[in-house]
Each structure stands twice: as structure tokens, then as C-alpha cells.
Amino acid sequence: MRMILVGPPGAGKGTQAARLIDTYGISHISTGDMLRAAVAEGTELGRKADGFMKAGELVPDELVIAMVIERIGKSDCENGFMLDGFPRTRAQAEALDRELEKAGATLDAVVLIEVPDQLIVERITGRRSDPQTGRIYHMIFDPPPEEIADRVVQRSDDTEEACVARLQKYHGETAPIVPFYEEKGILVRADGVGSPDEVTERIKTELEARR
């Protein structure tokens, strides 16, 4: 199973990614982790990427895509992979698609977790973390115990203003990849409202229907 996981911030992609890679026995490829690993290993592509990052510049799309192709060629991706964090724009999706086709590794599915913006804002702005333990709570869905309620804090990127800005960026830049994959017939839509177990079952049902 070769797939990409897509969805707005706060849609539960992290939780679902962990479950899906376990279910299908595939490798999880986070582009951030992939870049750091390539730099640490000192590969040719890693050295090129490191040059851009040290200069404070974004790593060019073509270099990221070349690294993705290199990464999926490794033995742990023989059973498939989940690409997480890329592509983020339609141009990236189109370029990645061309290179995957050349490498003989066309995608089986692009899973889109859909959650209404209003609920996303509620989910994100309600998050609080305990600075002593690192435990994450939610003021509505999983409130902290009364004895530690005074010490939990809200991260700066979990404010409503920051959340709305992230959603606008998602809708403006990333959402346009959805019709691209829909036209290719590999988009899998999953309702992300409900418990993690319910969402997982919806995704698995949709994926199994395509096998």
C-alpha cells in the first residue's frame, strides 16, 4: 500500500498515521524526518539540502522530491509507504506524481481526513499541556485533573488567531491538491469527526473497498 495522508491541522493525522502504518505494515515517511536523516547520513542529496537549510532557505521542491524517490527505494518501503507532510501544494503534487511514475511507484491512495473548520478551531484552541509532565489535555474532551488545572498552559500556536491562520494557509495552498488526486481516481475521503477508532475504521473500510 503506497499512500499519502492529507488533512487540515488538528484533523488527527498523527493518530491515524500511526494506526495505518501498523495496520498495513508500511513505512512512515515524514519529509522533515527524511531531510534530517539524509543530512545526518551525509548523502549527496542530504548535503545539497543542508546547504539550503543552513542558508535559511527552503529546500527546493525538486530536491525534496528526489529525496522522496531515493527514500522509497530503500528496503523498508518494499511493502509500501505513507508519505506525510508532502506534497503541500498542487505544483508539488504534480511534480511528485511525474517522478513516482518514472520510478514505477505510483500511489494506491491519497487519504483525506475531513473535519469542519469550526471543530478544528475547537479542538486546537482547547489543547493545554502540562509543563512538568508534557501530557496534553483538552479543556472540553479531556480536561486536566483539578489539582494541576492551574499549571497547564496553551502553546502559542494553539491560539484561535494562529489556528485560523494555519487553516487559511491549508485551504489556500494544500487543499488544491485534493481535486488533482480526485481526478486521478485515488482520493479516499474519510469523515474525521468522531473517536479515533471510528475514524480509523472509516479509513480502513474505504481502503479495503479499493483493493
Whether 88 is a known active-site residue: answer yes
Q: Which of 71, 123, 127, 202 is catalytic?
A: 127
Whether 169 is a known active-site residue: answer no
**Catalytic site residue from 19, 36, 48, 88:** 88
Known catalytic membership, residue 102? no
Set 19, 166, 169, 204: catalytic member: 166
Q: Which own/partner contact pairs does 151-156 have at CB distance under 8 Å and 24+ positions apart?
A: 152/128, 153/128, 153/129, 154/125, 154/127, 154/128, 154/129, 155/127, 155/129
Assess whether 155 carries a catalytic annotation.
yes
pLDDT at residue 143 is higher than 80: yes
pTM (two decimals): 0.87
Domains identified in the chain and CATH numbers:
2-26+79-115+175-209 (3.40.50.300)
77-98 pLDDT, tens digit each:
999 999 988 999 999 999 999 9
Give per-residue pLDDT as tens, 46-58. 999 999 989 988 8
What residues does 29 pair with on adjacent strands? 83
CA distance 36 to 13: 21
Summarize pLDDT for 130-141 with one digit per residue, the tens. 999 999 999 988
Respond yes or no: is residue 54 known to be catalytic.
Answer: no
Mean pLDDT in the chain?
A: 93
Q: How confident is the model over 177-194, as a mean pLDDT?
A: 96
Which pLDDT belongs to residue 91? 93
The predicted structure's pLDDT at residue 33: 87
Catalytic residue among 98, 151, 155, 210: 155
